[in-house]
Amino acid sequence: MGKEVSEKILDLAMDYIMGRGYNAFSYKDISREIGIRTSSIHYYFPTKGDLGKALAQRFFQSTTEALELIDKTTQDPKEKIRKFVRIFYDNLKSGNRACPVAMLSSDYENLPEEVKREVINLIQLQETWLAKVLESGIKKKVFKFSGKPNDKAKAIFSAIEGATIASRAFSDPGRILITEDLIINSIT
Amino acid sequence: MGKEVSEKILDLAMDYIMGRGYNAFSYKDISREIGIRTSSIHYYFPTKGDLGKALAQRFFQSTTEALELIDKTTQDPKEKIRKFVRIFYDNLKSGNRACPVAMLSSDYENLPEEVKREVINLIQLQETWLAKVLESGIKKKVFKFSGKPNDKAKAIFSAIEGATIASRAFSDPGRILITEDLIINSIT
DNA sequence: GTCTATAGCCCGATAGAC
DNA sequence: GTCTATCGGGCTATAGAC
């Protein structure tokens, strides 16, 4: 049994967003690759905002699971952060795709309202997780920094997002790794 | 004597790029604000690529001068980096504008060739300057880090760019300041 | 240098047949 | 569910009058 059409649409839209951004792909791009007409895509996702929202929500789900997996398999806070960064690195290595949150954030002003809301949720999910890891690292005395874990989490996430954008633009995934060093150095 | 029309066009285009991005403003947006027709803008900048290129080159010039000013008025490497970050912070405070390089980088795939080239130049200009500051900081023993200054410069610039994107999207310039802390902590 | 007018393209979206 | 056909709008860009 093949994949549902709506799933194929979401997969392709995700690739386009990670590679070019939300406003740089069209229903036509997707229709061409799937082999159906643009009007058929509107059957599944009446507006592009609907598509963006569905896609962001699906990504929220898979990100939640990825973070839970890290928590389940790793205790050391420093190692958790390394695994977190690894996700972004792998996306860049395989297909030069930036984090969808970074792409959506840099296009934030031009997004439909319903998509904006999902972007906020995605950032909060990841920054909250990072803050929790930082706190546990402080408690275990493997991390050392001044300031609130929450603020540190914001700075770390921004740094990773910036690195994915530069990495993708210049096809240089190595930028993620040197950013990982910067982050680890700043909290140990 | 008023400003040249071509200067007004460049000023407005710069504001739009810093606020929305290169592909999210049109000749019509600019024509509306200046009070001339779009065809008149084509008289000064035949294609949008010409406009983007001219604008990036003008920004290269002003950035060069800003960096020279820092070098002339500041000796302490740490203080140089603080002044560098301050530039991005001020742009966000006054008008919620992100660094044009960050905006252009995140839209990189969708830029005309001639603009892409200028973006590369702009990044190199700033990363080279940062690397120089880092080296002098190492020599003066006010900085301490492993790895190449060049790589550290890339990571620092990416982090700042990411912070400006998040700051602008969520109207929270404070993100720049916590990123400044992260950077300073990672090299001292 | 600025205008009017328009070409040519792409976009998201809808109506209605099958 | 998928199609054809089309609408209304946006965009960059050009031709040619003044």
Q: What's the CATH superfamily of B51-187?
A: Tetracycline Repressor, domain 2 (1.10.357.10)
Region of residue A74 (left: phi > 0; alpha: psi -120 to 50; beta: else):
beta
pLDDT of residue B41: 98
* CA of A43: nucleotide with nearest C1': D1
Chain mean pLDDT for chain A = 97
The alpha-carbon gap from B4 to the nearest alpha carbon of chain A, in Å, equals: 30
Cβ of A32 near strand C (under 7 Å)? The reply is no
Q: How far is CA B29 from CA A32, A109, B26, B104, in A?
A: 32, 15, 5, 18
SS3 A34: helix
Q: Any CB–CB contact under 8 A between A130 and chain B?
A: no
pLDDT of residue A3: 84
- Which regions of chain A are under pLDDT 70? 1
Q: At A155, list the tokens.
A: 């700075």
pLDDT in tens, B10-39: 999 999 999 999 999 999 999 999 999 999
Q: Any CB–CB contact under 8 A between B156 and chain A?
A: yes
Cβ of B32 near strand C (under 7 Å)? The reply is no
Neighbours of A188 (CB within 10 A): 13
Which residue of A17, A22, A106, A148 to mutate against B (max B Cβ within 10 Å)?
A: A106
Confidence (pTM)? 0.97
- The residues spanned by each domain of chain A are 51-187
pLDDT in tens, B91-121: 999 999 999 999 999 999 999 999 999 999 9
